[in-house]
Amino acid sequence: MKKVALIGYGAIARIALQKIEEHDTDKHIKVVGVLVRENRKEEARAALDNSKAVVTSIEDLIRLSPNVIAECAGQGSITEYGEAVLTAGIDLIVISTGALADDNLRNSLTSICKRNGARLLMPSGAIAGIDGMNSLQIGGLNSVRYTSTKPPMAWQGTPADDNFDLANISERTVLFTGPAREAARLYPKNANLAATVALAGLGLDATEIQLVADPDVAPNNVGRIDAEGEFGQLTVECRGLPAPDNPKTSATTALSLAHAILKDTRAIIM
């Protein structure tokens, strides 16, 4: 049986747990617990059945002996907990991949993985085509652009608030164009996929990111990859509904997390 624990219990975690329960009909997976802040403990305890522990320290989560821990709590949780998880020899699924735009953190965590046999696992999130880009990367990539387009108010609470009147945007408006490293740093809750696409392809400095506000895409969040390599081209566009209570994140992010957890229990892995 595969034992899973979660860091965080917000919209992404709730959707992922629901889908794991729906699709794990043979009961190959046991969710042993979740880690939350002290002020969220009662809420999580009321929402979860008694088979799942609710803890407030990473040490207590590790004591539950999971095979894999999935992060669903934002970039800061990778900095705060990543070392402890990997040092314990436990695989860590990273949703907030923008944290890995920090070279020092990424190099530190990958060094721990090499010493302890643990792995950093990165689901595709709210985009498709990562597998195809991996293949093109082996053959030689020349250019990669990732464009994230969301309704204007999904960019509230970001640097775009300082430079644009988001409430009154009435047509497609480019908010940011630049390298993935900068996008992930400036837009930590909106642009984790910038880091995912970059780490799968040309890297954080050579991958171009464009962040766009467009009322016409509502209610969807739209992600698009345009990649060109020596052996071909890749163009992929995904339109996903936002996660409940979090318009900055697509619900498909939670589905990709559920898939990442479920796939190792199947006879055919894709």
Each residue's pLDDT tens digit, 8-64: 999 999 999 999 999 999 999 999 999 999 999 999 999 999 999 999 999 999 999
- In this prediction, residue 159 carries a pLDDT of 93
**Residue 266: per-residue pLDDT:** 83
Q: Rounded to whole angstroms, how far apart are CA atoms 139 and 118?
A: 28
- Position 181 pLDDT exceeds 80: yes
Cis check for the bond before 66: say yes or no (omega within 30 of 0).
Answer: no
Provide φ and ψ at 205, rounded to 5°.
-100, -20
- Whether 112 and 189 map to the same domain: the answer is no
Asked whether the beta carbons of 188 and 98 are under 8 A apart, the reply is yes
| Domain CATH number, residue 223 | 3.30.360.10
Residue at 270 is within a domain = no
Together in a domain, 235 and 168 = yes
60 domain-assigned: yes
CA 237 to chain centre: 17
pTM (global) more than 0.85: yes
Residues 113 and 175 in one domain: no
pLDDT in tens, 128-150: 889 888 899 999 999 999 999 99
Query: Does 264 reside within a domain?
Result: no
- Report the CATH number that the domain containing residue 34 is assigned in CATH: 3.40.50.720
Asked if residue 194 and residue 103 are part of one domain, the reply reads no
Specify the pLDDT at position 168.
Answer: 96
Distance CA 216, CA 155 (A): 15
Residue 140 falls in which region: left (phi positive, over 0), alpha (psi -120 to 50) or beta: left
Percentage of the chain with pLDDT > 70? Answer: 99
Shared domain for 39 and 91, answered yes or no, is: yes
Q: Which of 121, 153, 174 is the last residue of a domain?
A: 121
Q: Report the domain count for the chain.
A: 2
Q: The domain containing residue 195 runs over which residues? A: 130-249
Q: pLDDT tens, 94-103?
A: 999 999 999 9
Query: Considering the domain boundaries, does residue 73 fall inside one?
Result: yes
211 and 240 fall within a common domain: yes
pLDDT of residue 184: 86
- What does the pLDDT average to over 72-95? 96
For residues 192 and 221, the answer to whether their CB atoms sit within 8 Å is no
